[in-house]
Amino acid sequence: MPKGSDIFLQNVSKVVVFIILAFALYLFFTGHGSPGGGFIAGLMSAGALLLLALAYDIETVRKVLPVDFKLVTASGLLIALLTGAGALFFGKPFLKHAFGHFELPLLGETELHTALIFDLGVYLAVVGVTMTILLTIGEDR
Domain positions in the chain are: 4-139
79-114: pLDDT as tens digits: 999 998 888 888 888 888 887 888 878 778 877 778
Highest mean pLDDT: which range of 29-38, 56-65, 132-141 = 56-65
Rounded to 10°, the helix 38-55/4-30 angle is: 170
Average pLDDT over residues 117-136: 92
Q: Confirm if 127 and 42 have CB atoms less than 8 A apart.
A: yes
For the cut 60, the answer to whether the pLDDT of residue 1 exceeds it is no
- Identity (one letter) of the amino acid at 54? L
Alpha-carbon Rg of the chain, whole angstroms? 18
User: What's the whole-model pTM score?
Assistant: 0.85
Residue 127 to residues 8, 30, 65, 88, Cα–Cα distance (Å): 27, 18, 13, 28
- pLDDT computed for residue 30 by the predictor: 83
Tell me how far apart the alpha carbons of residues 63 and 121 are, in angstroms, rounded to a whole number. 24
